[in-house]
Each structure stands twice: as C-alpha cells, then as structure tokens.
Structure 1
C-alpha cells in the first residue's frame, strides 16, 4: 500500500503536537493575543497567519487520513463508510476555513462562509466520532466511551462559541480543539500500540 497505516499513525500524532505547539506559541507570545479571547481563526487571520495555517492544514490532513484508516479497518457497513467519509470531508473544510480567513479579513465584502463551514466541520467530526463509538462494539470500552465523550465535547464546545462572551470565546473553542486532538492522538496511539 502506498500509505501504510503505521506511517499515518505517526503523522497524525506528530501533526497534532506541532499544531498545538504553534497555537500555544502564537497565542501566548504575540502582543494583544490571548488563549481566552483569541480564537484559532483569529490567529489564522493575524499578522503571522501562515504559522497557524500550517498547523491547521497539518491537522486537516491528519483528520482526512484518519478517515482513510477508519475505512481500511472497518467493515463495509454504512456507519463505517459514513464516518470515514465525514472525516474525509472535514479535512478539506478545515483547509478552506484556514485559507479563507486571510481573504475575508482583507475583503470583508465577500461572502461570509466562516460560520457555515465551521458548523459543517463541527457536525461532520462529531457525527463521525459518534458513529465510530456506536459501530465499534468490539472495541475496548475506553475507546467507545472516550470517542462518545469526545464527540459530545467537540459538538457542545463548538456550538457554545456562537453564544459565549468574547472574553472567553478562545478558551471555549480550544475546548473543542482539545477534545479532537486528544481523540486523534488516542485513536492513532492505540493502533500503534496494538501492532507492537
């Protein structure tokens, strides 16, 4: 196979760690930025947007590759195919939102895609994780319950960003990101460990 699953596992874990390091560095080291008030999208459209875009694109590719792993290791039933497809769709949507941010800031008269794309990402990823939790009944209980919890946290925190104060919006959005990153690292680390 062109892309061995082992290499995908290593890539996704590394990309998540790099993206977290970029986000923390940008939010804490840049003037006027804060983990509490600055969303990931704010940083992706700021002065050093290229760094945040790189982190987002690395994770986006990791999410799409996770969809490939789910498709390879699952059965041919509709829940597996749907969850793999949703993860495969979420990756390009994250790339779209990260690259569109710079354009929308410089040309605010353009169409406001941000909320629609963010909503689609939230629904796609949380639905994919919920389906995985439901369909992988043979999996360890930690995987099933951890995946269900990550889906709930990702969806709840993502939805909450539409109604919370700007003083804590960055923190709420990062709660969703933490749920996703921890799930991705756990998903791929468990598969690496099972092959040792």
Structure 2
C-alpha cells in the first residue's frame, strides 16, 4: 500500500510539474529575402519544434535547416550548399523569454528576447510576439528582421543584388499542452 501511494504521489507531482509546458513539432517559420524585379527568394519550414513554459515564460525553438522548402529546387540546393552550409550547420535554435510574462494573462502581445543561433553564430533578438490561447492550445506568432552578415553568411557579389539586405522572418507556433 505504501508503494502504491508513493507511485501515485510521483505521478501526480510529475504531471503538476509539467502543467506549464506547451509544445509543437509542426511549427512554421517563413523567411523572405526577395528583391523587386528578381526571382522570389522565399522559404518555409513546417517542422519546427518549439516549447513554451507557461510557469516562467521561457521559450525555445529548433529548426533543421534542410527543412526549409523553396519553390525552386535549385535555389534550395544553393541555399543549403553555398550559403547556409547546412551539412556543417544543420540547425537553427532560439532560446529566450517572454518579457514580463504573466501566466494569468497569456493572451496578449509580449516582447520576446533571446538568442538566435544560426550558421555557427549567435545574435540577441528582441521582437514583439502575439499569444492567443484556446482550450489546451497556445499560438505564438511573430515577425522580425535579420541580415545574412549577422550570422557570417556570405552572399557572392554576382547574386547580391538579387537578395535583400534585410531578411524578414515570421513564425507561427501552435503549441499543445504537454
């Protein structure tokens, strides 16, 4: 009887501990670096893993670089082999926090601050993000601007006029209670 009580206590405390975790393995990140009059430079990754801890507002995300899909297969190949070097740098990660997070008032706009790591470099990011909650789901959406040189990504001069200096990154995570 004592062992059964201990087992139940462990299960209950474990589920209480994890009540603040929301996760997805199907998050979406888009980026666009198009320049008018040239071919669209745009990709989507729909297999991003993200987790939000609603106890403290910490957020983390991981995107495999080879998960980004372009309309043009040759562009995707150049992106992976020549620019982002995905065999050497296979993932991008973000680890941060929702500033002044209030677990009792989840549904609002927050400042998201953290570190984006890509191509062997890390950069502090600060952007606005909107959270919405329904049932056991929390959605997070955000957009921010970054630049290739922030992550030591070299754009050859022959194509530099075809790729925007500012790259628009947007994300949409629909997180489910873990």
What TM-score, normalized by structure 2, do the two folds share?
Answer: 0.28
Larger Rg: 2
Q: Which structure dedicates a bigger proportion of its chain to helix?
A: 1
Q: Which structure dedicates a bigger proportion of its chain to strand?
A: 2
